[in-house]
Amino acid sequence: MITISNADIGMVYELIRSRRRTLSVRIKDGKLVVSAPLHTSEAEIERFLLKHKRWIAIHLAKETARQEMTTNAPKLTATELSTLTRQAAEVIPARVRYYAPIVGVTYGKVTIRLQKSRWGSCSTKGNLSFNCLLMLAPSEVLDSIVVHELCHRKQMNHSARFYSEVLCVYPDYYKHRKWLKENGALLMGRVDR
């Protein structure tokens, strides 16, 4: 990975070359990242970036605004975090008990944690872990994460079959995943790390 500052097109970006077949651009951690096939010329990359300049500008601005909101989000106190954890310890296991028979699975322990980057996880032994910050999200978002983790009891991957299992139980899953993608950083930003 190299960082390139290109005055001609007015962009700074990280370039990742690999055996991929096509060019792609994404915003990651507030930075522009270009993935390119091994032998793609700089001129071709520049043309690609110019063609997508409007998309890049819009998404960089959104990411900058999101980062500012996250940085300036009011931080939760230790008492508030403790309250959220207690609430989560009551609410989330109840949602797991509700959805497990609908998904058609069993599970092990349910643990509530304050996680830095995950909303939930499922171990190979069937133990489930959930982030207490889910209590700040709409209940439908919380349920979508519960169903997601329970479906890992059937498919320990993120394949098309896995998402088919999720959608059978929770047809609005993608809508709620989108909410979490758009607002999750703000929720995570409420904790001093």
Q: How far apart are CA 152 and CA 34, in angstroms?
A: 32
Mean pLDDT for 170-183 is 94
Has residue 102 got a pLDDT over 60? yes
pLDDT value of position 97: 98
| pLDDT band, very low/low/confident/very high, at 63 (cuts 50, 70, 90) | confident
Which residues, other chains included, contact 94 with Cβ-Cβ below 8 Å and sequence gap of 6+? none
Q: Looking at the domain 78-188, which fold is it?
A: Zincin-like (3.30.2010)
Which region among 22-36, 99-113, 154-168 has the lowest average model confidence (pLDDT)?
22-36
pLDDT value of position 2: 57
Chain segment 45-57, per-residue pLDDT in tens: 989 998 998 888 8
Chain segment 76-98, per-residue pLDDT in tens: 899 999 999 999 999 999 999 99
- With tokens 């063609």, the residue in question is 51
Identify the H or E element spanning 184: helix 173-188
User: In the chain, what are the helix, strand and coil shares in percent, each to the nearest 5?
Assistant: 50, 20, 30
3 state SS of 15: strand
**Residue 21: left if φ>0, alpha if ψ -120 to 50, beta else—which one?**
alpha
Which region among 4-18, 33-47, 102-116, 176-190 has the lowest average model confidence (pLDDT)?
4-18
Query: CATH 3.30.2010.10 residue ranges in the chain?
Result: 78-188
Has residue 72 got a pLDDT over 80? no
Report the mean per-residue pLDDT for the chain.
90
Q: How far apart are CA 151 and CA 9, in angstroms?
A: 46
Across-strand partners of 55?
none
| pLDDT band, very low/low/confident/very high, at 74 (cuts 50, 70, 90) | confident
Q: How far apart are CA 38 and CA 17, in angstroms?
A: 5
Has residue 5 got a pLDDT over 80? no
Has residue 143 got a pLDDT over 90? yes
